[in-house]
Amino acid sequence: MVNISIIASILIVVSSCSTYKARPLSLRSFEYYSNYNKCENISFSLKVYDTAADNKDMFYFDLTKKNIIPILIIIKNDNNDDIAIDKNTIELNFLENVYRPLNGASLAEEFKLLTGAYPFIPGAGLGAFLGLLSAQATNRRLVADWQQKELPDRVVLPPGEAIGGFLFFKLPPGLDIKGAELRILAEKNGDGRLVPLVLKLADH
């Protein structure tokens, strides 16, 4: 006997995901964001996505339900030489704790919906099977969209160029990160110096 409630729940997931359309990431001027700074001709700003509405609008899911806070970071190089940023040097400091961004694979793993693992239902029929295949394809689109919006592992910015992308931080439940510091190290390719870029998270 097939468990009808299980099939119904799966079809609801398939139906809702089938409407998913990726929203392109659009960047505004640095002055638009409340968190903005400039250091050694490097401009940088951020926006914290800590509400359900912001998350669903940008990622389709509310990532905060998994205690994941996306932070949009925008960086512009106004130097005469390239600058380079490695994501593994980025950290969020708060109350003497250090948090580092998740990579795309770890983010997808946090949501079991995106692993492609669905329960096998004997006798569910061809329709349910095709629905599961559709959900798996949609999940792959979700993961690809999230990874496309993510800040790359390594960024090299030529003079005059800018880049924007998301950092995803897994935080303790209920933590209010107002007042936390986001720290980034930018390397100037001309002389190899490391420039610390620090932003304190203000009201957002």
pLDDT computed for residue 169 by the predictor? 94
For 128, list phi and psi in degrees, rounded to 5.
-65, -40
pLDDT computed for residue 3 by the predictor? 44
Query: What total number of domains does the chain contain?
Result: 1
pLDDT computed for residue 19 by the predictor? 55
Check if the beta carbon of residue 6 is closer than 8 Å to that of residue 119.
yes
Name the DSSP letter for residue 114: G
Q: What count of residues does the chain have?
A: 204
pLDDT computed for residue 112 by the predictor? 61
pLDDT computed for residue 203 by the predictor? 55
Range of the domain at 168: 4-200
pTM over 0.95: no
pLDDT computed for residue 175 by the predictor? 80
pLDDT mean values, one per 10 residues, the chain (204 residues): 42 48 71 82 92 89 90 94 94 91 77 49 44 60 82 94 93 85 92 91 66
Vertex 29 angle, CA 28 and 34, to 5°: 90
- For residue 50, the domain's CATH number is 2.60.40.10
